[in-house]
Structure 1
Amino acid sequence: MKEEKSYSAKSGFLMVFLVLTMLVIGIFGLVLIKNPFFVILIPLVIGCIPGFTIVNPNETSVLVLFGAYKGTILGNGFFWVNPFFSKRKVSLRARNLDSDPIKVNDKIGNPIMIGVVLVWRVKDTYKATFDVNDYANFVAIQSEAAIRGMAGSYPYDNFEDEMAEITLRSGGNEVSELLERELSERLAIAGIEVMEARINYLAYAAEIAGAMLRRQQATAVVAARFKIVEGAVSMVEMALEQLKEKDVIELDEEKKATMVSSLMVVLCSDKDATPVLNTGSLYQ
């Protein structure tokens, strides 16, 4: 497989001087000397003009002679090459691909919508020009394939797969690194360098979004209740220990159970508790 090779083009300014010199000599010979031999210089001047080319910064010119790859002008400036060369400009500037969200299945099989932002540029002009038909379209199609492959490697979150350490929603750098590796492998054939790849859109598909939202809300409520109960038990335990240590009052097991029940109701209730005053004895 061929690879990119640099072509050393001649200075365009030097060739401009030579072409103008030939033009002046040709006109001088025809007009003043009146020698028809000098007419040969005129077609030579015209034939040299297509050889001039300008290569801008972060741009290259791929040179082909009758179907044979001759090299790539990697430098910038004003050059002159063989007039029979066909020249194809290839930009080396970084480009962005903001993919539209596509529907894929995560590792568990849940349908999700995911989109990425890809920053890429051409690294090998030979592969980008001759190994693929349209390298920009190739990047777009292979990016979608890489997204599908990456999304199938991780669950959306760890609600259903509690053992999952990395998820699409919280994976961060790990998910981005996997996506970059996947894209680099796929785009290497086109001579494309992947500079950065990040998930910029992630959501459940519309058909399950409502159910997943209710599940997340239920999970949050359960987690909050667990914390409330855990704190309430600690507070009741501390209250009983403090009463016992300071010998404020001696409670039997029945009264301890009543006190614990009342405290748990007060501490775990969604609403403010309404106290009921007992005007009789403790045992009424």
Structure 2
Amino acid sequence: MSNEKTITALNGYFMLFVCLALLSAGIFMLIETGNLWSGSLIFLSLLLSAGLVLVNPNSSRVLLLFGKYVGTIKKNGLFWVNPLFTKKKISLRASNFDSERLKVNDKLGNPIMISTILVWRVTDTYKAAFDVDDYKNFVRVQTDAAVRKLASMYPYDNFADEGIEEDITLRSSVNEVSEALEKEIQDRLQMAGIEVLEARIGYLAYAQEIANAMLKRQQATAIVAARHKIVEGAVSMVEMALDELGNKGIVDLDEERKAAMVSNLMVVLCSDKDASPVLNTGTLNH
């Protein structure tokens, strides 16, 4: 449970005026009268000025008094607090983190290279300051751990030829993988008072040692799929041609001639090169 406590400090502009007035009075007394009390006024002005705190927009100051948490100033402006307070600055701005490319194994054991882009910000200054040692380093380490876990949960791609068919893959299911990654990182960073605004995969590829083999495999799969479509279309066209010839009575073909015609049409339609026509100047039997 968060112990963050937001406090409102005194107006810093008023205390700045007081410090300048004490300093001016001390210097004037020292020059004019040489009174020792002038040194006390100068020391007091310097002591009070140590309590001035400038808080920029989307920034905060965590206040400690001899190791005890006092509160957090989140409102921007110039404020004054107890000069004995220790003031720790924590930014509330959204930060962008691009992780290094990690070499991990996917669900099928294939080595892949993966990195993530994370957008995060601090929402609980108490947790960020005291529940973890260094919250920025904590973000880096936990993000890398979450990416490694995510990569092991899903395969890089589907391989239908091996009977492996996954609903979610790292390559094709971008939205699902990003949601799972964001949830995993948020669960890890919650203890540090950090909110994950966005998490997505920034780089994804097979590792170098298997990249060429996997590229050839993908190309072969694409060629097989294309050939399958070509053959499927060619069969439909041959069937349509035979039906049209029979229905319109253009030519009467026996089974042997139909087989020859089907063979010729399939060669023409399925070939990856242009067919060379041969003109028959005789009869169909010669």
Quote the offset at 1:276 in angstroms: 2.6
For 1:15-26, what aligned pairs fall within 5 Å after superposition?
Answer: 15-23=15-23
Across the aligned residues of Structure 1 and Structure 2, the Cα RMSD in angstroms comes to 2.0
Letter aligned with residue 168 of structure 2: I
Closer, same or farther: CA 259–27 of 1 in aligned 2, 3 Å: closer
Letter aligned with residue 97 of structure 2: L
Hey, what's the Cα distance between the residues in 2 that align with 1:263 and 1:54? 84
Stretches of structure 1 lacking an aligned partner (at least 5 in a row): none
Closer, same or farther: CA 150–54 of 1 in aligned 2, 3 Å: same
Quote the offset at 1:93 in angstroms: 1.3
Closer, same or farther: CA 110–49 of 1 in aligned 2, 3 Å: same
For 1:1-284, what aligned pairs fall within 5 Å after superposition?
Answer: 2-23=2-23, 40-159=40-159, 160=162, 162-284=164-286
Closer, same or farther: CA 103–27 of 1 in aligned 2, 3 Å: closer
Report if aligned partners of 2:2, 2:124 keep a CA contact under 8 Å in 1: no
> How many corresponding residue pairs?
284
Letter aligned with residue 230 of structure 2: I
What secondary structure sits across from 1:13 in the alignment? helix
Q: Which piece of structure 1 moves more, 34-43 or 109-118?
A: 34-43
Q: Which piece of structure 1 moves more, 27-36 or 225-234?
A: 27-36
Identity over aligned pairs, percent: 62
Hey, what's the Cα distance between the residues in 2 that align with 1:150 and 1:234? 45
Quote the offset at 1:155 in angstroms: 0.7
What secondary structure sits across from 2:107 in the alignment? coil
What secondary structure sits across from 1:188 in the alignment? helix
Letter aligned with residue 60 of structure 1: S
Q: Which piece of structure 1 moves more, 86-95 or 158-167?
A: 158-167
Report if aligned partners of 1:146, 1:183 keep a CA contact under 8 Å in 2: yes
Letter aligned with residue 171 of structure 2: R
Provide TM-score, normalisation by structure 1: 0.93
Deviations 1:7-55 (A, max 9, x none): 2110011112333444456567778899866765443222211101111
Hey, what's the Cα distance between the residues in 2 that align with 1:151 and 1:64? 42
Provide TM-score, normalisation by structure 2: 0.92
